[in-house]
Amino acid sequence: MFKRVTSQIEDPGIRELLEYVLYEPEALEDAIRMYKTENSAEMYAYENEGELIGLVGYKIDSSRVLEIVHLIIHPECRMQGYGRDLVLEALGQTNPEMILAVTDGDGAQFFRNIGFQITGVTDESSGEERFRCVYLVQEEESEE
């Protein structure tokens, strides 16, 4: 089941999943603060039989660009299609014109596999290679 959990961002299970991608305590607190204070930031969870499987956190701006900020699948549940499902659910919730994510090499491979265009970029603050992942959403043509 896909459900909105933005208001429950500090729940232990959600924090635990976020810790898989946010290793530094300060980064975790910054993310929690963002979901609590920014109106454009949303967090959704995928649950199966009462267990948290994964999270997708995103922002959507006025030009209908959906930026995936966090996409986390519990390590025991990876490679089972949950990440793709979370991206599709976010797409369905927001109806964006474009989806954007900036990630590491492993994340870039995931996004490439589900149809995103990938461009390598250098993070200015750390000098690390990152990947800009973009998916242009095409509206379905109406039948006449």
Residue 143 lies in a domain: no
Residue 112 lies in a domain: yes
**What is the per-residue pLDDT for 140?**
54
Please count the structural domains in the chain. Answer: 1
CA distance 18 to 21: 6
Residue 142 lies in a domain: no
Residue 80 lies in a domain: yes
Strand ranges (E), the chain: 2-4, 41-48, 51-60, 65-73, 98-103, 117-122, 129-136
Residue 77 pLDDT class (50, 70, 90 cuts): very high
Query: Whole-model pTM above 0.95?
Result: no
Give the residue with greater pLDDT, 128 vs 75: 75
User: CATH no. for residue 79?
Assistant: 3.40.630.30
Structural domain including 86 reads 2-136
Residue (of 39, 73, 40) closest to 56 by Cα position: 73
Residue type, 120: G
From 19-23, 35-39, 56-60, 131-135, the region with the lowest mean pLDDT: 19-23
Average pLDDT, the chain: 90
